[in-house]
Amino acid sequence: MSTRDTFVNEADRVIIYDELAEAVIHDVLDPEVGYNAEVFAAAFDIVSPHGEFLADPTESFYQGIEVMAVIKRNADGRLFGFKYWTPVSDNAEPVVEPNGDEHGLQFDPPDGFDWDNDYFPAPYVFQPIEPFTITGYKITETSNE
């Protein structure tokens, strides 16, 4: 991978970097803005509506929830997801951070890195996922009321 690659499509994971990753996670991908978005959009569809799929079947809903941004690889239809935490209140922001270090990718810049002039990509790893179901119920309106 060169330092200017914006995504790497592997058999069992998809690594997306920097602005492209954030655009995919927040479902604001615009192929006209650059960062290889047009190439990514040809290879993947964003399935999650603004990353709002529940990510934990045992979610406690205490102060926030884990949600999943989901993409589908067009070549084989396989689904991949990136999990992050989002608050349940209106006054807080989601916590979306690169997770490449959890997947053996170099996360810290090398010695001698020049923050003003060098580029170091932040990797967001999307992993294979499977669906789960949480059943809910609501009161049915009847004509007796």
Q: Where are the domains of the chain?
A: 7-128
Distance between CA atoms of residues 81 and 46, nearest Å? 10
CB 129 within 8 A of CB 70: yes
* pLDDT tens digits, 2-46: 435 689 999 999 999 988 999 999 888 887 777 888 999 999 999
Distance between CA atoms of residues 83 and 92, nearest Å? 18
CB 50 within 8 A of CB 40: no
The reported pLDDT for the residue numbered 1 is 41
Distance between CA atoms of residues 64 and 6, nearest Å? 30
Give the global pTM: 0.83
42 CB-near residues (< 8 Å, 6+ apart)? 74
